[in-house]
Amino acid sequence: MHFLTQKIEFPDVSYASADGLLAVGGDLSSERLLHAYQNGIFPWFEDTEPILWWSPDPRFVLFPKDLKVSKSMKQVFKKSLFKITENKAFRDVIENCAEAKREGQDGTWITDEMIEAYIKLHKLGYAKSVEVWQNDKLVGGLYGIALDNKVFCGESMFAKVSNASKVGFITLVQNSNYKLIDCQLHTKHLESLGAKHISRAEFLKHL
């Protein structure tokens, strides 16, 4: 196990454990976070834990050309039930993601410290949000880190009404020039939209 110091550096990702855990400690400064994402590493930890840094192998990703939009979702888009915006309510999105109930999770990994760290990245132009509105109310959204406008590292999403997060995610994929969406870890939700596993080595080549 590698313990980080104040120096902004990480061990080679090949030293990650079988489940992807690479390092412990450090901080959530903008410099360290950007360095991490640029090298295929992301933070993920509970409120009672130290900062944990991960680089799983394989990596769960979506290539935009592989996006699957079901017939039912196409009908949702045709009905124009939602209004989609970008970077209009970043704090509201990340706070809603933190409050969202997750199956198998009692708390949230999006701590207050994480929220403030990503808001700083948003002000620097790296962290992006997509908002989904219905009747002028925020009902869904997602946020993540954009690397050179080529790779979008998705962090979390939420939905207060059916299909809201899917609409936001599909809009992000279809209306951007990203070559790859990093989904980090497998979920059935993202698999249904076309995400798949690739090796960590292949993922790093895209970075």
**100 and 28 in a common domain:** no
CATH number of the structural domain spanning residue 123: 3.40.630.70
User: What's the rounded mean pLDDT across residues 129-151?
Assistant: 96
User: What's the rounded mean pLDDT across residues 134-147?
Assistant: 97
User: What's the rounded mean pLDDT across residues 94-114?
Assistant: 79
Contact in structure between 35 and 145 (CB atoms under 8 Å): no
Which among 58, 86, 102 is the end of a domain?
58
Greater model confidence, 74 or 100: 74
**76 and 30 in a common domain:** no
**pLDDT, position 102:** 55
**pLDDT, position 100:** 85
**140 and 65 in a common domain:** yes
**104 and 27 in a common domain:** no
User: What's the rounded mean pLDDT across residues 55-67?
Assistant: 97
**64 and 46 in a common domain:** no
Count of structural domains within the chain: 2
Radius of gyration of the CA atoms of the chain, in A: 17
**Residue 109 reports pLDDT greater than 90:** no
CA distance linking residue 55 with residue 36, whole number of Å: 9
Contact in structure between 168 and 138 (CB atoms under 8 Å): no
Helix (H, G, I), strand (E, B) or coil at 178: coil
For residue 11, count other CB atoms closer than 10 A to its CB: 15
**67 and 54 in a common domain:** no
**Residue 51 reports pLDDT greater than 90:** yes
Residue type for 31, please? E
**Residue 108 reports pLDDT greater than 80:** no
- Mean pLDDT of the residues in the chain: 94
What ranges in 21-161 are assigned the alpha helix state H? 30-38, 71-78, 90-99, 112-123
CATH number of the structural domain spanning residue 50: 3.30.70.3550
Q: Is the peptide bond before 64 cis (omega within 30 degrees of 0)?
A: no
**195 and 116 in a common domain:** yes
User: What's the rounded mean pLDDT across residues 175-185?
Assistant: 95
User: What's the rounded mean pLDDT across residues 151-162?
Assistant: 96
**48 and 77 in a common domain:** no
Which among 14, 43, 58 is the end of a domain?
58
Has this prediction a pTM greater than 0.85? yes
**88 and 9 in a common domain:** no
**pLDDT, position 48:** 87
State how far the alpha carbon of 180 is from the alpha carbons of 37, 67, 125, in Å. Answer: 14, 11, 19
**pLDDT category of residue 1 using cuts at 50, 70 and 90:** confident
User: What's the rounded mean pLDDT across residues 30-53?
Assistant: 96
**53 and 68 in a common domain:** no
**pLDDT category of residue 198 using cuts at 50, 70 and 90:** very high
Parent domain of 40: 2-58
**41 and 120 in a common domain:** no
**176 and 198 in a common domain:** yes
